[in-house]
Amino acid sequence: MKNIAIIPARGGSKRIPEKNIQLFGGLPLLVHSIQYALANSTIIDDIYVSTDDSTIKRVALANGAKVIDRPEALSGDLEPTITAVKHVLESIESDVENVILLQPTNPLRPQNLLKEAFDIYKKGKYDSLFTVTRNHQKFGKITENKFQPFNYTIGQRSQDLEPLFFENGLLYISKASLILPPDCTLADSKIISENAFPFEVNHIFANIDIDTPEDLEYSEYLLKKHTLSR
């Protein structure tokens, strides 16, 4: 049975037009995730890009990925990622055991991240794994012009906060049977299960999720800095 990577990359993007093929480090943004999957060929057997866009399709094919044409009905702004991933599994004939989800908006990943995460996933016999990062900020909400701390008390030091974590989007690993269980409806499909393993990644790359031009600019800075430090 195969392990496949799925990279969802639709064409529509409002804040950064044609975001998934914007040049980043001299390459279309999407290509960084394809190259990461190719570099992990000992784990990943096939790479699939799900897209509704002809230009993204050409870029993906030219860089070593297979393409699943995503229907317009599954390509809207509010469409959840699970529908694209589920559609890929429904569209291919391969006997898939595990799915590695790589989002193109997270182009920078620690080199050994997938190997380390996949080892834990297999040894622990988990049905899913996702990456998280510890938060060190003080959160609260404003109600009736009053600030109400959420995860701390006023005056408390940041280093004394109770650990909280955020889902950083670097990668997800799921059993194909979790995403596409027999006789399932969309409500039954999941990428992250209730028993998913939260794999902690405390790396500067975990703070990158490209959604705005400022995100892209900051990511370029980190890429150059990381490259020069090698």
pLDDT in tens, the chain (230 residues): 899 999 999 997 877 889 999 999 999 999 999 999 999 999 999 999 999 999 999 999 999 999 999 998 888 888 899 999 999 999 998 899 999 999 999 999 999 999 999 999 999 999 999 999 998 888 999 999 999 998 888 888 888 888 899 999 999 999 999 999 877 776 789 999 999 999 999 999 999 999 999 999 999 999 988 876 65
Judge contact between 192 and 174, C-beta under 8 A.
yes
Question: How many domains does one find in the chain?
Answer: 1
CATH of the domain at 200: 3.90.550.10
151 within some domain: no
Task: Give the integer Cα–Cα distance in Å for 145 and 218.
Answer: 33
**Residue 19 falls inside a structural domain:** yes
Instruction: Just list the catalytic residues.
Output: 157
Is residue 140 domain-resident? no
Output the pTM of the full model.
0.92
Does some domain include residue 67?
A: yes
Q: Does residue 158 sit within a domain?
A: no
In a domain, 44, yes or no: yes
Alpha helices in the chain (DSSP H): 29-39, 54-62, 81-91, 113-123, 176-179, 213-228
Q: Which domain holds residue 213?
A: 2-131+167-228
Residue 150 within any structural domain of the chain = no
